[in-house]
A and B are shown apart, each in its own frame.
Chain A
C-alpha cells in the first residue's frame, strides 16, 4: 500500500512511527505492507516511489525543520497538491492543520485525491465540517473511500461505535463533550476554584491548549466534530455554519459554584438531533455518564432500541489519532481485498 502523507506534524509523525513500528504485524494480520512514498510539510516534499525511510524522515524533520531536506529525495517548494496529482499511490493521509474558514489546504488536497481516484484518510476536521456531503459524494462518484475516524475523539472510536456497534438501530440524538481542552479548563475551574484565565494558562503550560485557544474555548472545535457526527450518524446534510455555537470564555467562578450547589458541573456540551445543532455550556448532574473530568471526552448516543450508550475516552493526542488513522487504513485495505 503506497501512502502519500500530507502534513508532518504531531499526528503525521506519530502515524509514520506507528506504521514503521507495527510493520510486520500489519503484514501478518492484515496483509498491509505500507510504504510512505511521499510526504509534504510547509517547506516542501520528499518523494521516493519505492518508499521513504521513516527514521530518516523523522531525523530530517528534527534537524532541518522540513522533509524537503531529505537526502536525495527532498523536493523543496513542491506542494502537497502537486504530490496528490502526480505521485502514484493508493491512499492519501491528510493531516495538515485544521482551518475552519475555508478548509484549506486540506480541502483542495482531499478533493484532488478523490478526483485522482485515491482513497483518503484524514484527521483534519476543517474540510469535513465545511463540505462533508460534497466530499462524500465525490468519493462515491470516483469509487474510492474517504475515512475520517481521527477527526472525532482521536483514538477513541466514537464514529465506529455509532456506525458499527449500533448497526440496525436508529440513533436519534447525540450529546457529548467533544473537546478535551475545554473540559480540562472547566474541570480545573470546578476542582481547584481557578478563574477561566488561570485555568487556560495552566492548560497552555501543560500543552493541552494552543497559543491561540479560540478554536477550543469558543466552541468551534466541538462544533466541527458535531457537524461530522450529525452528517455521519444522523444523516443530516449540515455544515459548520448551521451550528449554534457558544463557548466557555464567559463562564464565571460564580456559575461554577451555582452548578455545584445544584450537584452539577458546567460542561461544554455538543448536542444534535434531527432539528437541533448546538454547542453550549450546560449543567450535567454529578454521576451522569457524561460528567467526566480532565481532558476526557464522552459521547452519549440515544437510539431507538438500545436506549442510551455512552463512549468515554481520551479524545485527542498525536499517537492516539495516529492509531485512528491506522484503523481507517486497515478498513480500506479490508474493503479493497474482499
Chain B
C-alpha cells in the first residue's frame, strides 16, 4: 500500500509515543508498504512558541532565553533515545543549529520589541522543523532510509495570508510530486514538517490550527497514496466527547461531508481543508490512535455508511461561544443595517457559527467563537448603536452550541421534533436553532450549564452509543 501517516503533537509528546510512532512506520515499511510521514511539533511546542513571540515582542529577553534553553533540553532529551550513534549525532547537530537560528530571530524581535505576522509564522515553523529531523534520525537508527523536508522544501505553496495561509493546491501537488515523489517511490521514507508552507516568494507561512492534517492530505494527493492515516491519541472520531458522555463510541465510518460538518463546529477533528482536498480526489482518510493502533478507528470516504435506524452519528459541544443579539423595532425593513452588520463582521474576520433573524425582523442573533468578542461588541456598538434602528446589542457569554451531525438525517422527517423533545425532557431551554441546508446537521444554542445535559439526551435519543 502507498501510505501517508501524520503524527499529531500529542502522539509524539512522550517517549512512549515517539517510539510507538516510529515502530508503526517501521512495521509498515518492513511489510513492504511505502510510507511518507508528516509530523507535528512535539507536544505543546507550538503554543509555547506563540508565547515566546509575545514575550519577545514585549522585549522580555530573559523569558525568551529560558524558553530556548528548555526547548533545546527537551529536543536533546528526545534525541538521547535514538540508539544509533551516527543518526543521533546528526540529529543533535541539526537541532542545535536550528535553535541557534531561532535564538537570533527571537532576540532580534526582542531588540526591536515588535513582531510582524510574517516573522511570527517564521518563528512558529520551528516546532515542526525541529521534530522532523528527529523523526528521520529515529527511523534511520532502525536501519530505514529516510529524508526530511520542511513544508517549503517539500513544495507546499500558499497564499501570503500569514498565520492562516491557504495552499495553492494544484501548484502544491505538482511540486510535491516532483520533490518528494522520487524518494517515496524508491522506498525512502520522506518525513515532512506539517503545518508549514511558503508563499510564492518563498516566505514561510503556517496553515492554521490542525494544519498538519492538511499537509498530510496534500502529500497523499500528490503521491497518489491509497490512504492517509491521521494518528492521534484517541480512538478515532467519537460519537461525543467521552468526558461529557462516557458511553461515547468510535464512529467507524464517516463521509467527507459529515467530517466537514463536524470540523466546522470545532469538533476535535480534522482541518476542513484537509477533508476538502481528500474529497476532491476520493482519497480515504483514517483517524487512528497511536497508543492503540489495532483498536477502533474512523474511516472517512465518499460513503457515509448509514445504517438503517441510525440517522445521526455524532453530537458535539462547542463551549467557547458567545451569542450576540442586535435588536430594535426599526430593524424591520432596514436592510442597510444588516448590510452594515455583515460588513463589520467581515472586516473583523469573525467566524460566525450560527445566525438567525426573527420573522418580526426586529432582531438578528448570531453565535461567534468567544475569543475576540469584546472588541467585536464595542465595534458593533460604535458603528450601529445610537441611530434610530438599532436599540440594543446584547451579549451572552454563558452559552454553548450543541450540534447533531449525520448523513442519515437528510430527508428523514421528524428529526427536529425528536431533538426538541429529547432536550425539553431534560428541562433544557433552546435559545436559537439552525439547520444547515445540507441537512447533515442540526445545531442549537443553550445555556452553558445545559450543554452536557443536551449532549447526553441526544446521545441517548439517537442511540449514538450503539450505532457504530
Q: CB within 8 Å of B: which residues of A?
A: 115, 130-131, 133-134, 136-138, 141-142, 237
In chain B between 155 and 211, which residues have their CB closer than 8 angstroms to a CB of chain A?
Answer: 159, 168-171, 173-175, 200-201
Contact B201 A133, beta carbon cutoff 8 Å = no
The residue that B169 contacts in the complex, of A130, A131, A137, A142, with Cβ under 8 A, is A137
Complex CA distance for A141 and B173, rounded to whole angstroms = 16
Q: CB within 8 Å of A: which residues of B?
A: 159, 168-171, 173-175, 200-201
Contact B201 A138, beta carbon cutoff 8 Å = no
Closest 10 CB pairs of A and B: A134-B174, A133-B170, A137-B170, A134-B171, A134-B170, A131-B174, A115-B200, A137-B168, A137-B171, A138-B171
Closest Cβ of chain B to A162, distance in Å, is: 21
Contact B170 A237, beta carbon cutoff 8 Å = yes
Contact A141 B174, beta carbon cutoff 8 Å = no
Question: A-side binding surface: helix, strand, loop or mixed?
Answer: helix
12 A-B contact pairs sorted by A residue (CB < 8 Å): A115-B200, A131-B174, A133-B173, A134-B171, A134-B173, A134-B175, A137-B168, A137-B169, A138-B168, A141-B159, A141-B168, A141-B200
Interface centre among B159, B170, B173, B201 (most CB of A within 10 A): B170
Residue on A with the closest CB to B160?
Answer: A141
Residue on A with the closest CB to B167?
Answer: A137
Complex CA distance for A287 and B25, rounded to whole angstroms = 61
The residue that A136 contacts in the complex, of B159, B170, B175, B200, with Cβ under 8 A, is B170
Known: A115-B200, A141-B168. 13 other contacts (CB 8 A): A115-B201, A131-B174, A133-B170, A133-B173, A134-B168, A134-B170, A134-B173, A134-B174, A137-B169, A137-B171, A141-B159, A142-B200, A237-B170
- Residues of chain B within 8 A (CB-CB) of A130 are 174
Closest Cβ of chain A to B61, distance in Å, is: 38
- Residues of chain A within 8 A (CB-CB) of B170 are 133-134, 136-137, 237
Residue on B with the closest CB to A140?
Answer: B168
- Residues of chain A within 8 A (CB-CB) of B168 are 134, 137-138, 141
Interface centre among A130, A134, A237 (most CB of B within 10 A): A134
Closest Cβ of chain A to B282, distance in Å, is: 12
Closest Cβ of chain B to A322, distance in Å, is: 29
- Residues of chain B within 8 A (CB-CB) of A137 are 168-171
Complex CA distance for A134 and B178, rounded to whole angstroms = 12
- Residues of chain B within 8 A (CB-CB) of A138 are 168, 171, 200
Complex CA distance for A131 and B170, rounded to whole angstroms = 9
- Residues of chain A within 8 A (CB-CB) of B175 are 134
Residue on B with the closest CB to A130?
Answer: B174
Residue on A with the closest CB to B166?
Answer: A141
Complex CA distance for A141 and B199, rounded to whole angstroms = 11
Residue on A with the closest CB to B159?
Answer: A141
Complex CA distance for A237 and B200, rounded to whole angstroms = 22
